[in-house]
């Protein structure tokens, strides 16, 4: 049943491409219908499989001569991420309600992107996963290049090439693993169970991890992210920063760490004081946290602040993955969900609520417009989203960061201090952006050049949806932890558990 | 299943806020009447809790306990003993006073009152929560309504004041969070009662689990103590962490200041009493001298600072620091000795804290209520030099405000006296030198309060100074119960102490160091 | 030499498809010269194309139904399942080219044009069904001479016959190399049959080395591998679209198969090895170096091109490099991968040329800068172009991706476990990651950039292109279908593989 999330999205995209150009409102409704029904299916599956156990959705032979199956399956982790995609997709459609230029094409690419994302989360055969993973690149490119804003062509191309290079690295690792395991199957459990030599894993792991890490914003391969997210139209940024970056992190866990757990082990001799790939990536993650936060602190463009903050938050996720304990890994997954919701919300405020109306994103220019009284809903939403992003208790970000910090402290006590600094700087840059954009000192009040339209109903619904989801997880994270933790205990991660949890 | 009274109590103000937000914007009087009514309803509910509280037992009552996030050892645990009860009561009393002080708010009044109720809900939450995770959520959330109340409805420098308030409190919260995370790593629990029960035995946990093999666990425990201490020290506040307070209190609208001084500062005191003292008693014992010096500095220096102020609100802002300093003096004095001979003194000190907390809340809030009236009637000014000889033209006003001021001074017969008396009675035998120096604070307080009375009320009516009409009959009726309460509590403190006695005894006994 | 002398009728029975084609060619000439002499150019082209297609279809059905089987004179003329498959593929590609030419206007000699295409096809059919040096050479010459003439057909364009002259000179020289190499092989083994040659080779004698080099030069030219590719950019750019499409597709199929068979059957025993760091002398290292050179040069020079056709030429060089990887592996699997790859590559190339011919008819130029606006004029065709280019780039779920994947897997599988050719695969994946950039540039121009040049703005709709459009759509559908269900082609291919190696 869950496979229908993919099919509905693809069918929707196909129908939308065939629509005549004048049917803009029909296109929107169709897109909303597709997004909502997929989300509904995801929610139903989430409620039905509350124990988080692994279950297969579809398993048919596809290319028998190569041992490749069309195998879709899900466990607790995939279910929660699929649900995240559903929610963000609905919000994205609602926030794009005002697009007039080639509406049907926009939503066609959007649905194509969503369908491919569902596909990645639900794939169990690595070939199929790779197909869906690559499929994400082209709709991304067109969404940004056609409907984006600042330097959109450059941003789109950079994003596409970086992603493609990352997938190329992954392909090398996957093919090597497939051939090394006897070319008999591309199924995740069979490849995970195959005893690759330690030397092989030591080489394959960083290649595949970095390949996926590029999409996840691993420092220093993150440079596509701020440019790309700023260039993208709002709905695309929401989806890109919110969900697509999580694809990278999810695949880091699901593929790189599952297939090559020995690659995380200690090297025979340390290099510059670092003793393993695990430490290397943990350090890079913390650098990413601090770097993203510090750079966000000095940005003048509102959207760049959010773009760099995404890099910082992804650093939390990658650090959580490297802690290799239950607390850190659970925290990483919750942070995936939490940041997905909150990044979506923040981009929506900046891009849709503010930029689409004021046509500027310069913090200095926004200040005098007195947005807190002109667009009170936007101000309130940003305050809530910003505070949630900072890690205010009561929202999902707090639980996630708490668990990651605890996990990090157990694994890398020194780095945990760096994380603490990152959280503090995080508070500061959100604060600064909020102050400058919405609550600037009213020294000279210039009315905006044209009266600002009020926030529309679709925007309010979407914002409420995202906030409610974040609050729900913040107040009752157990509903997600209940399905994630059994998944982490599954035999698939047996190799990783030598690290101990 | 018993009725979840405490959850209901916390949710009532949230419901009130929702009601207010749904009111039509057009009417100006509807929001204020609705909020006044709702706040009185909440007060009634709290009094119901007071009545049903079993005063013979010092144990936790009205307990609600559910599993929440087992993976993090986080429980949904609410309960109160006498300490929590008195905090709930004073919050419930202060909020109607604050609403009354904000009666004439024009700008977006329903949002204003909604934020006030949200603040009250957060405060109820911190006073009833017994698990750090849950408690911290409310602690942090309370900052948001407070920030907006100061920022949006405040004076000219409100932006800076609000930001300073937020930043200081946040820094303190972060250190507190980090310390508690470390404690969680060391002991595996977030529950306050469990942590208190361990006493000094959380040190081995610290040594074993925190992985810093080469650091002395004693020193590490002191670092953790410092983190938590900082969070509360900013809130009370203690000098030198107080610099946010004068700006925030004076820039905020007076009704908000009433709530800030009446209830929010008590969050800090509660934190000391519920969290810091039980868990870190050994550390406090070790650092007692330094802590007492900080407290004395707080008491004395704030009193001198109040003396030097010209702005009425600033005077009472510093006065607020001063009054709570006495509570802190008693709190630290409690950890002086575990010698059973000094038990009665410890009981007295603790009872004094509880009384002082309640009476200061009522008194300070009422004073700011009066100040709000003064401000409004004088056209926005509140400098001492702007008033004079008001006794002639507004005798009732002068009389009632005088009562409140005398109560703040600690005049016997009014509610300010029993608390301070008990505090000094208890601390003199425990820490004689500290108590003696703190008496200086009492003297200076007397000086500046009398100075206020003299400058504002007595003396000739100067030309060119503010003309303040007397209280209307409506205002007299609203002030009456509060002033009466001041007399009642001053003359018959047993009303309150009777219920709290058992709590006092069991609290002092549980302090192990 | 086999001692059994076949009868003439046996020989004919294996050559019936070729006979059908020759008859069709003559028929087309006749009809064009006589009844249709006064018809319009488009009618003549259309009817000639359709007639030629019918002939090819007849030949293909004969092959499919009658299954000509046999082995004459020790490999001079073969018929087995594998050759059937190859011949049907070649005939299909020819049909596509013929139908594509139905919209052309570049020459008045329609009958001759179609005749030459069909004759070239005859050459290709012979090429794939022989393992004898003489027949190989004669067929290659038949094919090449036809192609030289086809390239020069547009007498109105100076560039067209200049390119054809270069092609002819280059081709003649490489044919000389080929013949010299063949004569040396004959001298070494006293036979023209590939298997006999292999039996007589004992290790690498200097004469064999020279023979290998000469053959490599000759065939390298045919497949446009670097450094023998210099004719390709000019031909791709200047020859008429159907000719260029034909050169780029069918002849590639045939040439690669010949190369593969020559190398793996003919030079068996002199392989050597191309493991990284352990090169052993033989023909494999030579091919490996040429492959690496082609991949790198083709991809990097293509980035700088401003003409779509030249871009396709350089990308053809790169793809030739990938396909040579199959040769270095010389296993059964790699042969299957090669056939799959070259067949789908040809389909995509013909499709791209088909779209380009319509673009040129509308704007008069093939520069990337003149493409903008195309997507608005021709949404369907630009979508087809997107499919073709993305398949060439290797984006799933298109055929090009699976082709690359299978090719790389087969290359790595060549010797069980040790993966000696890993460096080649890594190089191939890396350079194909680069290739996305220039393909996206073309798509960007088509979809995103606003029309700026005068040619782009004054483009007109051209009528009478119904058949080429249909060809485009069908080819695009085939590319998508083969990408999503590769088994459709893979199953018959694997069952048809000759069991020899």
Q: What is the DSSP string of A393-420?
A: TTSHHHHHHHHHHHHHHHH-HHHHHHHH
Q: Are B122 and B155 in contact (CB under 8 A)?
A: no
Chain C residues in contact with A145 by the CB 8 A cut-off are: 444, 447-448
Q: Tell me if chain A has a CB within 8 Å of the CB of C492.
A: no
- Cβ distance of C413 and A66 shorter than 8 Å: no
- Which pLDDT score, from 0 to 100, does residue A501 have? 43
What is the arithmetic mean of pLDDT over C170-195? 90
**How many angstroms separate the CA of residue A439 from the nearest CA in chain C?**
38
Chain A residues in contact with B210 by the CB 8 A cut-off are: 413
CA dist A467 and A488 (Å) reads: 27
Q: What are phi and psi of A8, to 5 degrees?
A: -60, -45
Verify that C294 and C183 share a domain, yes or no. Answer: no
As for how many domains chain B has, the answer is 1
- Cβ distance of C425 and A161 shorter than 8 Å: no
- Which pLDDT score, from 0 to 100, does residue A446 have? 59
Q: Residue C57: inside a domain, yes or no?
A: yes
Verify that C66 and C164 share a domain, yes or no. Answer: yes
Q: Are A306 and A346 in contact (CB under 8 A)?
A: yes
Nearest chain C residue to A146, by CA: C448
Residue with tokens 């791209």: C352
Q: Are B271 and B408 in contact (CB under 8 A)?
A: no
In Å, how far from its chain's centre is CA C485? Answer: 23
Q: Do C and B make contact, counting contact as 3+ CB pairs within 8 angstroms?
A: no
**How many angstroms separate the CA of residue C413 from the nearest CA in chain A?**
6
Q: Tell me if chain A has a CB within 8 Å of the CB of C425.
A: yes
Residue B385 lies in domain: 287-513
Q: Which of A404, A422, A440, A478 to mutate to test the interface with B (most CBs of B within 10 A)?
A: A478
Q: Which of C186, C217, C237 marks a domain boundary? A: C237
- Which pLDDT score, from 0 to 100, does residue A246 have? 92
Verify that C229 and C283 share a domain, yes or no. Answer: no
**How many angstroms separate the CA of residue A317 from the nearest CA in chain B?**
18
Verify that C430 and C480 share a domain, yes or no. Answer: yes
Q: Residue B87: inside a domain, yes or no?
A: no
Specify the range with the lowest mean pLDDT, choosing from A162-171, B350-359, C126-135, C418-427: C418-427
At A174, is the pLDDT very low, low, confident or very high (cuts 50, 70, 90)?
Answer: very high
Q: Hey, which of A228-232, A315-319, B148-152, C264-268 has the most confident mean pLDDT?
A: A315-319
Q: What percentage of residues in chain A have a pLDDT greater than 70? A: 97
pLDDT digits (tens, 9 = 90+) for A460-492: 888 889 999 998 988 888 888 888 888 888 877
Verify that C336 and C397 share a domain, yes or no. Answer: yes
Q: Tell me if chain A has a CB within 8 Å of the CB of C487.
A: yes
Q: Give the distance between the most distant pair of CA atoms in chain C.
A: 70
Q: Residue C155: inside a domain, yes or no?
A: yes
Nearest Cα to Cα of residue B268 among B220, B323, B312: B323
| pLDDT < 70 stretches in chain B | 1-2, 199-215, 338, 462-467, 512-513
- Cβ distance of C409 and A66 shorter than 8 Å: yes
Residue with tokens 């390119």: C163
C390-402 burial, b for 16+ CB within 10 Å, e for fewer?
bbbbbbbbbbbbb
Q: Residue B224: inside a domain, yes or no?
A: no
Contacts of B344 (CB under 8 A, 6+ apart): none
- Rounded CA Rg of chain B: 22
Nearest Cα to Cα of residue A299 among A401, A150, A418: A150
CA dist A453 and C63 (Å) reads: 70
Q: Which residues of chain B from 307 to 346 reach within 8 Å of chain A, CB to CB?
A: none
- Cβ distance of B185 and A410 shorter than 8 Å: yes
Q: Which residues of chain B from 144 to 173 reach within 8 Å of chain A, CB to CB?
A: 144, 151, 159, 163, 170
What is the arithmetic mean of pLDDT over A353-369? 77
A47 burial level (CB within 10 Å; 0-12, 13-18, 19+): exposed
A259 or A494: which leads in pLDDT:
A259
Verify that C390 and C473 share a domain, yes or no. Answer: yes
- Per the DSSP assignment, residues forming a β-bridge with A362 are A301
For A190, the token pair is 């069979």
Nearest Cα to Cα of residue B126 among B196, B65, B164, B78: B78
Q: Which residues of chain B from 177 to 196 reach within 8 Å of chain A, CB to CB?
A: 178, 181-182, 184-185
Chain A residues in contact with B163 by the CB 8 A cut-off are: 435
Nearest chain A residue to C413, by CA: A179
Chain A residues in contact with B71 by the CB 8 A cut-off are: 326-327, 330, 403, 478, 481, 485
Contacts of B97 (CB under 8 A, 6+ apart): B258, B262, B362, B365, B366, B369, B482
For B465, the token pair is 């100074």
pLDDT digits (tens, 9 = 90+) for A321-357: 998 888 889 999 999 999 999 998 888 888 877 777 7
pLDDT digits (tens, 9 = 90+) for A388-442: 888 888 888 888 998 998 888 888 878 888 888 888 888 888 888 888 887 776 5
- Rounded CA Rg of chain C: 22
Q: Tell me if chain A has a CB within 8 Å of the CB of B21.
A: no
Q: Tell me if chain A has a CB within 8 Å of the CB of C438.
A: no
CA dist A20 and A361 (Å) reads: 34
What is the arithmetic mean of pLDDT over A446-472? 80
- Rounded CA Rg of chain A: 22
Q: Are A225 and A162 in contact (CB under 8 A)?
A: no
Chain C residues in contact with A62 by the CB 8 A cut-off are: 485, 487
Nearest chain A residue to C409, by CA: A175
Q: Are A21 and A10 in contact (CB under 8 A)?
A: no
Q: Which residues of chain A from 421 to 480 reach within 8 Å of chain B, CB to CB?
A: 423-424, 427, 435, 439, 441, 476-478
Dihedral sign of CA atoms A437, A443, A449, A453 in order: positive
CA dist B154 and B254 (Å) reads: 9
Residue with tokens 């908000």: B256
Residue with tokens 């053959």: C215
Q: What is the pTM of this model?
A: 0.84
Nearest by CB: B68 against A403, A406, A478: A478
CA dist A91 and A460 (Å) reads: 10
Verify that C94 and C218 share a domain, yes or no. Answer: yes
CA dist A208 and A258 (Å) reads: 11
C200 or B89: which leads in pLDDT:
B89
**C449 to A443, C92, C304, C443: CA distances (angstroms):** 43, 36, 18, 9
pLDDT digits (tens, 9 = 90+) for A5-45: 899 999 999 998 888 777 788 889 999 999 999 999 999 98
Chain B residues in contact with A402 by the CB 8 A cut-off are: 72, 133, 181
Coil, strand, or helix at residue C416?
coil
pLDDT digits (tens, 9 = 90+) for A186-206: 888 888 888 888 888 888 999
Q: Tell me if chain A has a CB within 8 Å of the CB of B73.
A: no
- Which pLDDT score, from 0 to 100, does residue A479 have? 86
Q: Tell me if chain B has a CB within 8 Å of the CB of A289.
A: no
**How many angstroms separate the CA of residue B140 from the nearest CA in chain A?**
7
As for how many domains chain C has, the answer is 2
Q: Tell me if chain A has a CB within 8 Å of the CB of B68.
A: yes
Nearest Cα to Cα of residue C496 among C147, C78, C162: C78
Q: Which of C215, C237, C259 marks a domain boundary? A: C237
Query: What is the per-residue DSSP string for C111-151?
Result: HHHHHHHHHHHHHHHHHHT--BHHHHHHHHHHHHHHHHHHH
Q: Tell me if chain A has a CB within 8 Å of the CB of C408.
A: yes
**How many angstroms separate the CA of residue B380 from the nearest CA in chain A?**
21
**How many angstroms separate the CA of residue A406 from the nearest CA in chain B?**
7
Nearest Cα to Cα of residue B367 among B412, B302, B316, B443: B316
pLDDT digits (tens, 9 = 90+) for C272-319: 777 777 788 888 888 999 999 999 999 999 999 999 999 999 999 999
What is the arithmetic mean of pLDDT over C228-249? 91
Verify that C33 and C88 share a domain, yes or no. Answer: yes
Chain A residues in contact with B149 by the CB 8 A cut-off are: none
- Cβ distance of A165 and C433 shorter than 8 Å: yes
Chain A residues in contact with C397 by the CB 8 A cut-off are: 131, 135
In Å, how far from its chain's centre is CA A121? Answer: 12
- Interface size, chain A vs chain B, as Cβ–Cβ contacts under 8 Å: 60
- Which pLDDT score, from 0 to 100, does residue B210 have? 63
Verify that C276 and C384 share a domain, yes or no. Answer: yes
- Which pLDDT score, from 0 to 100, does residue B199 have? 64
Chain A residues in contact with B184 by the CB 8 A cut-off are: 406
Nearest Cα to Cα of residue C390 among A122, A205, B229, A137: A137
- Cβ distance of A392 and B141 shorter than 8 Å: yes
- Which pLDDT score, from 0 to 100, does residue C340 have? 94
Vertex B99 angle, CA B94 and B100, to 5°: 95
Q: What are chain B's partners, defined as 3 or more CB pairs within 8 angstroms?
A: A
C437 or C72: which leads in pLDDT:
C437
For A407, the token pair is 């996990």
- Which pLDDT score, from 0 to 100, does residue B87 have? 93
What is the arithmetic mean of pLDDT over A381-385? 84
Verify that C340 and C433 share a domain, yes or no. Answer: yes
Q: Which of C185, C213, C237 marks a domain boundary? A: C237
Q: Residue B49: inside a domain, yes or no?
A: no
Verify that C190 and C62 share a domain, yes or no. Answer: yes
Residue B44 CB: number of other CB atoms within 10 A?
Answer: 11
pLDDT digits (tens, 9 = 90+) for C89-141: 999 999 999 998 887 778 888 888 999 999 999 999 999 999 889 999 999 99
Q: Residue B218: inside a domain, yes or no?
A: no
**C471 to C244, C386, C468, C475, C482: CA distances (angstroms):** 16, 15, 5, 6, 16
Residue C132 lies in domain: 1-237
Verify that C81 and C151 share a domain, yes or no. Answer: yes
CA dist A85 and B47 (Å) reads: 48
- B340: DSSP letter: G
Q: What percentage of residues in chain C have a pLDDT greater than 70? A: 97
At A318, is the pLDDT very low, low, confident or very high (cuts 50, 70, 90)?
Answer: very high
Long-range own/partner contacts, residues B110-113 (CB < 8 A, 24 or more apart)? B110/B20, B110/B21, B110/B23, B110/B25, B110/B31, B111/B20, B111/B21, B112/B31, B112/B149, B112/B153, B113/B17, B113/B20, B113/B31, B113/B32, B113/B34, B113/B35
Nearest Cα to Cα of residue A263 among A134, A176, A166: A176
For A150, the token pair is 């600042």
CA dist C123 and C146 (Å) reads: 9
pLDDT at residue C210 tops 70: yes
CA dist A447 and A193 (Å) reads: 65
Mean per-residue pLDDT over chain A, rounded? 86
Mean per-residue pLDDT over chain C, rounded? 88
What is the arithmetic mean of pLDDT over C415-442? 86
- Cβ distance of C436 and A164 shorter than 8 Å: yes
């Amino acid at each position: 049943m869950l496979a229908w999330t993919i099919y509905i999205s693809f069918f929707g995209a196909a129908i939308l491409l065939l629509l005549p150009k004048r049917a803009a409102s029909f296109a929107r409704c169709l897109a909303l219908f597709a997004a909502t029904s997929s989300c509904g299916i995801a929610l139903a599956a989430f409620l039905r499989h509350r124990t988080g156990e692994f279950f297969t959705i579809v398993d048919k032979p596809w290319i028998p001569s190569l041992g490749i199956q069309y195998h879709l399956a899900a466990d607790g982790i995939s279910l929660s991420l699929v649900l995240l995609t559903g929610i963000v997709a609905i919000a994205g459609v609602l926030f794009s309600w005002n697009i007039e230029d080639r509406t049907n094409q926009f939503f066609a690419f959007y649905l194509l992107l969503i369908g491919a994302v569902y596909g990645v989360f639900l794939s169990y055969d690595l070939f199929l996963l790779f197909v869906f993973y690559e499929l994400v690149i082209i709709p991304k490119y067109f969404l940004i290049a056609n409907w984006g804003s600042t330097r959109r062509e450059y941003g789109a191309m950079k994003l596409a090439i970086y992603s493609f290079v990352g997938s190329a690295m992954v392909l090398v690792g996957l093919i090597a693993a497939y051939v090394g395991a006897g070319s008999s199957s591309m199924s995740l459990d069979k490849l995970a169970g195959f005893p690759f030599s330690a030397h092989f894993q030591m080489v394959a792991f960083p290649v595949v991890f970095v390949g996926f890490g590029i999409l996840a914003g691993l420092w220093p391969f993150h440079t596509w992210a701020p440019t790309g997210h700023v260039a993208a139209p709002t709905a695309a940024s929401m989806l890109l920063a919110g969900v697509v970056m999580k694809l990278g992190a999810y695949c880091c866990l699901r593929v790189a760490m599952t297939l090559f757990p020995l690659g995380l082990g200690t090297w025979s001799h340390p290099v510059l004081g670092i003793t393993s790939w695990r430490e290397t990536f943990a350090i890079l993650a913390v650098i990413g946290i601090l770097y993203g936060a510090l750079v966000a602190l000095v940005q003048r463009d509102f959207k760049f602040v959010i773009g760099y903050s995404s890099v910082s938050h992804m650093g939390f996720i990658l650090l959580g993955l490297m802690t290799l304990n239950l607390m850190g890994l659970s925290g990483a997954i919750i942070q995936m969900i939490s940041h997905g919701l909150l990044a979506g919300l923040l981009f929506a405020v900046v891009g849709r609520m503010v930029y689409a109306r004021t046509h500027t994103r310069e913090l200095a220019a926004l200040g005098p417009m007195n947005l807190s009284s002109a667009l009170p809903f936007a101000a309130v939403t940003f305050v809530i989203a910003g505070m949630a992003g900072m890690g205010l208790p009561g929202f999902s970000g707090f639980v996630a960061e708490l668990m990651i910090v605890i996990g990090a402290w157990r694994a890398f006590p020194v780095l945990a201090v760096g994380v603490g600094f990152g959280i503090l700087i995080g508070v500061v840059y959100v604060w600064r952006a909020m102050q400058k954009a919405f609550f600037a000192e009213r020294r000279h009040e210039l009315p905006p050049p044209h009266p600002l339209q009020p926030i529309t109903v679709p925007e309010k619904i979407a914002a409420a949806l995202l906030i409610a989801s974040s609050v729900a997880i913040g107040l009752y994270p157990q509903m997600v932890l209940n399905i994630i933790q059994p998944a982490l205990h599954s035999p698939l991660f047996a190799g990783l558990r030598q690290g101990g949890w | 299943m018993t009725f979840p009274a405490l959850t209901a109590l916390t949710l009532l103000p949230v419901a009130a806020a929702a009601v207010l937000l749904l009111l039509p914007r057009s009417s100006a009087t509807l929001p204020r009447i609705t909020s006044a009514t709702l706040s009185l309803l909440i007060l009634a509910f709290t009094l119901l809790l007071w009545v049903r509280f079993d005063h013979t037992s010092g144990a936790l009552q009205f307990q609600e306990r559910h599993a929440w996030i087992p993976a993090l050892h986080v429980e949904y645990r609410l309960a109160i003993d006498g300490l929590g009860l008195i905090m709930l009561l004073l919050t419930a009393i202060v909020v109607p006073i604050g609403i009354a002080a904000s009666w004439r708010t024009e700008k977006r009044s329903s949002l204003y009152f909604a934020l006030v109720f949200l603040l009250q809900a957060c405060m109820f939450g911190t006073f009833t929560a017994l698990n750090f995770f849950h408690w911290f959520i409310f602690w942090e959330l309370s900052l948001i309504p407070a920030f907006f109340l100061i920022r949006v409805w405040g004076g000219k420098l409100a932006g800076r004041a609000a930001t300073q308030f937020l930043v200081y409190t946040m820094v303190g919260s972060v250190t507190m969070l980090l310390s508690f995370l470390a404690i969680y790593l060391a002991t595996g629990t977030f529950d306050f009662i469990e942590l208190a029960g361990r006493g000094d035995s959380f040190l081995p946990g610290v040594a074993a689990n925190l992985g810093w093999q080469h650091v002395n666990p004693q020193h590490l425990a002191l670092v953790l103590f410092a983190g938590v201490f900082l969070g509360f020290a900013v809130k009370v506040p203690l000098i030198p962490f107080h610099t946010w307070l004068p700006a925030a209190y004076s820039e905020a609208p007076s009704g908000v200041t009433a709530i800030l001084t009446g209830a929010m500062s008590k969050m800090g005191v509660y934190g000391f009493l519920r969290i810091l003292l039980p868990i870190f008693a050994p550390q406090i014992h070790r650092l007692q001298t330094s802590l007492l010096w900080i407290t004395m500095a707080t008491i004395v220096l704030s009193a001198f600072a109040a003396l030097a102020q010209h702005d009425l609100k600033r005077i009472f802002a510093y006065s607020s620091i001063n009054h709570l300093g006495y509570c802190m003096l008693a709190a630290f004095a409690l950890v002086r000795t575990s010698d059973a001979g000094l038990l009665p003194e410890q009981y007295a000190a603790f009872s004094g804290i509880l009384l002082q907390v309640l009476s200061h809340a009522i008194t300070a809030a009422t004073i700011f209520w009066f100040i709000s009236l003064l401000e409004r009637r004088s056209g926005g000014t509140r400098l001492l030099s702007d008033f004079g000889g008001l006794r002639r033209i507004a005798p009732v006003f002068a009389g009632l405000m005088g009562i409140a001021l005398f109560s703040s001074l600690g005049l016997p017969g009014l509610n300010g006296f029993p608390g301070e008396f008990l505090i000094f009675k208890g601390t003199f035998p425990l820490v004689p030198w500290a108590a003696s120096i703190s008496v200086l604070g009492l003297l200076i307080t007397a000086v500046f309060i009398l100075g206020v009375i003299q400058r504002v009320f007595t003396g000739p009516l100067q030309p060119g100074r503010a003309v303040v009409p007397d209280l209307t009959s409506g205002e007299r009726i609203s002030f009456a119960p509060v002033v009466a309460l001041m007399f009642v509590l001053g003359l018959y403190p047993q009303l309150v102490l009777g219920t709290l006695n058992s709590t006092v005894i069991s609290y002092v006994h549980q302090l192990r160091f | 030499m086999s001692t059994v002398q076949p009868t003439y009728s046996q020989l004919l029975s294996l050559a019936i498809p070729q006979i059908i084609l020759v008859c069709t060619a003559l028929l087309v000439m006749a009809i064009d010269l006589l009844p249709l002499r006064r018809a319009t150019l488009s009618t003549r082209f259309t009817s000639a194309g359709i007639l030629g297609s019918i002939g090819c279809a007849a030949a293909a059905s004969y092959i499919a139904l009658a299954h000509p089987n046999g082995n004459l004179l020790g490999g001079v003329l073969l018929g087995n399942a594998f050759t059937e498959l190859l011949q049907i593929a070649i005939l299909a590609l020819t049909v596509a080219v013929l139908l594509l030419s139905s919209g052309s206007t570049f020459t008045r000699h329609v009958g001759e044009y179609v005749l030459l295409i069909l004759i070239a096809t005859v050459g290709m059919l012979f090429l794939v069904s022989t393992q004898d040096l003489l027949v190989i050479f004669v067929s290659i010459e038949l094919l090449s001479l036809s192609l030289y003439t086809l390239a020069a057909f547009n007498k109105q364009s100076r560039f067209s016959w200049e390119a054809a002259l270069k092609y002819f000179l280059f081709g003649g020289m490489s044919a000389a190399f080929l013949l010299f190499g063949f004569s040396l092989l004959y001298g070494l083994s006293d036979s023209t049959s590939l298997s006999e040659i292999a039996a007589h080779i004992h290790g690498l004698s200097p004469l064999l080395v020279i023979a290998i080099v000469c053959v490599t030069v000759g065939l390298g030219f045919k497949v446009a591998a670097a450094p023998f590719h210099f004719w390709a950019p000019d031909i791709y750019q200047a020859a008429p679209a159907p000719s260029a499409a034909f050169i780029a597709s069918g002849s590639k199929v045939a040439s690669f198969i010949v190369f593969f068979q020559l190398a793996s059957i003919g030079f068996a025993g002199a392989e050597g090895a191309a493991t990284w760091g352990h090169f052993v002398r033989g023909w494999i290292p030579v091919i490996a170096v040429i492959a690496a050179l082609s991949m790198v040069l083709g991809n990097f020079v293509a980035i700088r091109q401003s003409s779509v056709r030249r871009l396709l030429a350089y990308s053809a060089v790169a793809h030739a490099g990938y396909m040579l990887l199959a040769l270095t592996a010389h296993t059964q699997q790699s042969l299957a991968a090669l056939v799959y790859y070259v067949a789908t590559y040809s389909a995509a190339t013909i499709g791209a040329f088909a779209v380009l011919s319509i673009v040129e008819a509308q704007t008069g130029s093939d520069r990337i800068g003149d493409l903008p606006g195309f997507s608005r004029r021709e949404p369907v065709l630009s979508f087809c172009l997107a499919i073709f280019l993305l398949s060439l780039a290797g984006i799933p779920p298109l055929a090009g991706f699976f082709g690359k994947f299978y090719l790389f897997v087969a290359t790595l599988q060549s010797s069980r476990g040790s993966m000696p050719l890993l460096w080649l695969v890594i190089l191939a994946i890396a350079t194909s990651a680069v290739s996305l950039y220039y393909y996206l540039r073309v798509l960007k121009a088509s979809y995103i950039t606003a029309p700026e040049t005068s040619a782009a703005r004054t483009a007109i709709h051209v009528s009478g292109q119904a058949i080429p459009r249909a060809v485009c759509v069908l080819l695009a559908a085939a590319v998508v279908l083969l990408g999503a269900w590769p088994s459709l082609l893979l199953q018959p291919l694997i069952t048809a593989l000759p069991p020899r190696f």
